[in-house]
Structure 1
Amino acid sequence: MALVALIRNSRLWNIAAFYIVLVSAVMHGLGLFARMSILLRPPVSTLYESMIFVSFMAACFGLWLEHKKRGGESLLVSSLIAALLIMSANVFAADSDTLEVLVAVLNTNFWLATHVVCITIGYGCCLVGGVIGHAYLVMRLLRPNAPKLGELHKNMLGVSMVALFFAMFGTILGGIWADQSWGRFWGWDPKENGAMLIVLWLLFLLHGRLAGVIKPLGYGVGMVFTNVIVALAWFGVNLLNVGLHSYGFTENIATNLAAFCVTEAVFAVLMYHFIKVKDGNPEAASKTGRGVPVPNNA
């Protein structure tokens, strides 16, 4: 419905889609609350729980953006992410009970409610920004002078800043928790390295954009690659089967993870190439862009 609203540019369809996603998010939130009531801890402790929690946060974040902008893109992006994560989470729920009891060192409500929640919120924000990056590149190729390009770019910047805040804050809290639980603040554990990788990547993109080194097109490509960074930090480190975060290990996602990363990388590179080729072809640009030249900083 959100896609139909965006294609038809219909306010009525957009409002209907907004409230459908809102009701779905409320029901999702009630399900998470029920899980919290049963387990007596935040629902972010296992890979399955992190996926359903991130899907909820993505939906909420998209609803918030849509409430402020009313453009339709944020609603479509967030609902798509939420649906894909929910369906993917079922893969990890098929072989075991999802209401797992944690080991004692991890069953700490304060740190679960701060460090892990912050990290997972950061995941959700990164994914929203990454999918907005997809939308930006597609629109930049097909309609290089569309007014919504500027809005998408602003959304990418805003989402990146929110994601950086939660990822960095969550990483610092994780170090404090590690110091209390294992006697060291930082031990180059795969999960720790994955969190740091997200922070460094977002810092690289934001500083490059603010300094003018990275243009909006490059920023859109970078946000697509953010999905790859998050996938490696979230799922990829579990394939190493080393480190102290043993509760998250899984061995059946290597093929899907590799396919996802390759697909994202190929999409980003090809879109960048096609856009650059089109920008260098005035005749093609005039047909799509209605004769208006594309700014150099776009």
Structure 2
Amino acid sequence: MKRIAVVGCTGAVGLTMLELLGPTELEVLCMASPRSAGKLLQVGGRDYLIEPFSVEACATCDVVFLCVSGEFALKYGEQLAQSSVVIDNSSAFRYHPDVPLLVPPINGKSYKGEYLIANPNCSSAIALMVLGPLHQAFGLESAIISTYQAASGAGQPAMLELRERARGFEDYGLDNGSENFAHNLAFNVIPQVDRFEDNLYTREEMKVVWELRKVLGEPRLAISTTAVRVPTLRSHAESLTLKFKQPIHSLEGVRRLLAEAPGVELVDDPAAGRYPMPMTSTYKHAVEVGRIRFNLIYGQYGLDLFISGDQLLRGAALNAFEIMQLVKR
């Protein structure tokens, strides 16, 4: 593998992808919209000349990262996969039965050499780093998940808007408008991420349900989710209420299990004020997990946990990078 393309290189995920590729010896081809073509992009100490997207140029690459919209991916994804391995960061192919949805530390062994691969939703990818080892150890029966999602999930312009609105905030009720969210996010939380479905759950909430089931190989797993946008920049946090088929005899055993899990960092010392937070998980490759306790309803069959992970890294670009490492061409 020598030549890589990043399509959508100027977006939040695309830029993070370039940061991860920077230390490698791979030749990286940056592609974006015609209005960005010809500009010089400096990321991680490397200079990239942005080129306009073309199928022909992508065909010269071993791997193509699509950091673009689902509409764009649907238009070009399968065509690009005729000559290159395509790792798609959108939701375009996640639920297609013939397209693998991969979180390498969790289900990477299921990869069979397909040329079109889906990268999961950020909330799903972050949660799965913790759910995977727990499911393997105790058999997950149900999950109730609340996600507290950063502005970065809505893209680079959304992060800029949050910064600007926070600087200019004076009082509630003065400016409720927003270009990137359902309402002004500064000093606010919004219980809507994406559009509402007929069942009154949002599309974002249903993505978590569908994707956890697919990655864990449990198509009937009972899951309910509430997604909330919060005024953090790039790290999501999630509250997990889990019920298991097997009893858990020791919280210390759970802590050891998670501390040894790849891509997970145990941050669980409440007395010392140590628990997962966006303040500490931002820019980390690992997902922080803490506030580990038996659930008051399920007893030894249930756990409550709190996790936090960088949406642009663990939730997107890093997972895509690890998928690339599975590919042998």
The two structures have a TM-score, normalised by structure 2, of 0.27
Higher relative contact order (CA 8 A, sep 6+): 2
Structure with the larger helix share: 1
Structure with the larger strand share: 2
The two structures have a TM-score, normalised by structure 1, of 0.29
